[in-house]
Amino acid sequence: MLYAQESGGAGGFTPILMIVLLFGVMYFMMIRPQQKRRREATAMQSSLGHGDEVVTIGGLYGTVVGVDDETVLLEVAPGVQSRYARPAIARVVTKAEQPAEPAADDADVVKD
């Protein structure tokens, strides 16, 4: 009878430890990767610019012709434009090439 009372005290800590470990594993396996994907999607959506070719969450391909704080104007066919919310953009297929800025050395060139 004395043995049963002594072993009961150690058994009460084990279930609590298992629950804490379970929540820890769930955090690192499910919650953190989802937060990382959301941050990457937000960064991609905020960096959209004129000329980027994108795909919407519905699978529609288009080229960005206008960007607003909350919306993106896509040209889906020649002369056909559609307005979408920024979160509706799933991915950028190709980034528009940024025009090259003139180098500082070009200003020192003397023409004959």
Q: What is the pLDDT of residue 11?
A: 66
Nearest one of 59, 91, 90 to 76, comparing CA atoms = 59
Position 95 scores a pLDDT of: 82
- Which backbone phi and psi does 102 adopt, to 5 degrees? -65, 140
Position 101 scores a pLDDT of 56
- φ, ψ for residue 32, nearest 5 deg: -60, -45
For the chain, which residues score pLDDT lower than 70? 1-11, 98-112
pLDDT of 23: 93
Q: What pLDDT was estimated at residue 32?
A: 92
pLDDT for 105 equals 52
Cα–Cα distances (Å) from 43 to 59, 80, 105, in that order, read: 20, 27, 34
CB-based contact 84:72 (threshold 8 Å): yes
